[in-house]
Structure 1
Amino acid sequence: MKPLLQKVALVTGAGHPKGIGRAIALKLAEQGATVVVTDLAQASEDMSGAVSQLKGQGVEAMAVAVDVTQKTQIESCVQQVLNRFGQIDILVNNAGVGVGSSDFTELSDQDWELSFKVNVKGVADFSQAVIPVMQAQGGGSIINISSLLGLGAVEAIPACYTATKFAVIGLTKQLAVNYAKQNIRCNAVCPGSIVTQMHSTTLELIAEEHGISLEEAQALEDANIPMGYSAEPSVIGDAVAYLASPAARYMTGVSLPVAGGMSPGI
């Protein structure tokens, strides 16, 4: 029995073939969910590929172009999903950016503004658009993709990224408290070192910070992971699928590290 049969899941930032969002969408489909993928309009080809993959798993799927910094696009997306499927049971706020210098004094206003608009306000606006739908349905599950850097700081990471990922944890906990009695659960997943397109950017920052090659940067990162390696995006998909399922029905307000034993902060 697939635990997410007859559920509709919406996953933001799910276009890139090697991204966490795509892996999450595929895992939810594997569990039986109908899946809606969103990403920026320029990723339309990637989103089409995602829909093909999802349909190949025997589920219904659709793609909607959405810039999460534009509230009208979010509201339009939610309405399109309701028009087609009539419900939204699972929202995965995965869209995120990592920009800026590891030197705090070099961060620009644009770095801070983009980080906040995507990593925090985008999560808040999508949740605000979907919560009334879940209230009318009698419940739902919101899963926010934060980061291990939402729990603690790591050297050579832009402060605007760390700060906004901490904010995602705070938002998650507040929504969990606010809507628990209405059967709307809100949890966060905090990925550690995951091999994605953003991971390549992180390695470049580490290499620049220490004056080493990308290969040496990867070895340095792996040396700080108790399990000794960076994981594939599918491990985040597994965690999200669990939190979205009935097996996690008594879990809300959780910030779940999926990080091979890395544990900065508390």
Structure 2
Amino acid sequence: MPTGVALVTGSAQGIGRAISLRLAEDGFDVAVNDISKNQQVLEALAEEIKAKGRKSCVVCADVAKEAEVKEMVAKVVEDLGGLDVMVANAGICFMTGSIMETTEKDLDSHLDVNLKGVFFCYKYAAIQMIAQGRGGRILGASSAAGQIVRNADVGMSKKRGLEVGTVASKIVARSALGYEGKPEDVASLVSYLSSKEAHFITGQTILGFEKIQSMAPTEAYCCQCLILATHVVTGAPRSPSQPLVIPPSEYSSKLYSGKVVTGFSPFHCYDGFKPHRSE
């Protein structure tokens, strides 16, 4: 018997692709989504899912456009018979340089996909799941999802039997553990959160990875960084078990020679980090 129907946005590559394949292995029928230029890639992915014995359908849509998200959910229901898991994975990150160099167009593009896109996915997934009357699970995987989930949980989880959560997983890089995280590692986390065993977890943000990376020791770097009442961990540990930790009050005006400084928060993981050379 199938576990249910899952929809994964932004599934043409990377984490989204890995999640789609893992959920198929778990017994879900999986709808795969991305923008129209990636249709051929999605069709190939759908064939891989079918080869695992599951049903699949391709739904090309721009999650930043509400009408397209509404139609996307409707097509998934029509083709696969319902919707039990929504993984709002689609997101973009192409800002370069510092915040001073970020244009209004850059900002609008990020907000459209990473904020509005997640919101629209949550909205129409919730409407469908409530109509079905069998509950469901809504997972976000973008930095904006961590903020949306705090409000979405109140309106959906507590009264409607839906579980809402966030996987802060956009940054997958070499860490102080000496291990390079892979999309499949994040997919394993999503697999658990999509399962019945995770029924008691809702309204939470779970950090998949932190980016802690060393740079050349003779160069100075600074970065744009989001700090929410937490600390900064640099990529140059004093020892393998003692990374250098800097309070927020001390970090902002300093340059750290030979280190990349990155911030993280208990609510979401900042996926727009781009170090730049400080002259």
Q: Same fold (TM over 0.5)?
A: yes
Unaligned 5+ runs, structure 1: 147-164, 196-221
Contact 2:163 2:202 (8 Å CA) reproduced: yes
2:209 alignment partner in structure 1: 259
Paired residue for 1:191, among 145, 169, 179?
169
Alignment match, 1:172:
149
Shift of 1:74: 1.1
Give the alignment partner of residue 177 of structure 2, picking from 222, 227, 230. Answer: 227
Contact 1:100 1:108 survives alignment (8 Å)? no
- 1:132, distance to aligned residue in structure 2 (A): 1.2
Aligned to 2:270: none
Aligned structure 1 segments of 4 or more residues deviating by more than 6 angstroms: 260-263
TM-score by length of 1: 0.76
The answer as to 2:94 corresponding to 1:116 is: no
* Higher RCO by CA contacts (8 Å cutoff, separation 6 or greater): 1
- Per-residue deviation at 1:231? 1.0
Matches within 5 A, 1:196-211: none
**CA deviation after TM superposition for structure 1 residue 176, in Å:** 1.5
Cα distance between partner residues in 1 of 2:148 and 2:84 = 19
Q: Provide the aligned length of Structure 1 versus Structure 2.
A: 214
| Aligned position for 1:10 | 7
Bigger radius of gyration among the two: 2
Distance apart, 1:194 and its partner CA: 2.1
> Deviations for 1:144-179, whole angstroms, at most 9, x for unmatched residues?
003xxxxxxxxxxxxxxxxxx2x3211012112221
Structure 1 residues 192 and 230, CA gap change in structure 2 (3 angstroms):
farther
- In structure 2, runs of 5+ residues without a counterpart are 213-232, 234-263, 267-279
| Greater mean deviation of Cα atoms: 97-106 or 22-31 | 97-106
Question: Counterpart in 2 of 1:26?
Answer: 21
TM-score scaled by length of structure 2: 0.73
RMSD: 1.8
1:45 offset after TM fit, Å?
A: 1.0
Are the counterparts in 2 of residues 20 and 233 from structure 1 also a CA contact under 8 Å?
A: yes
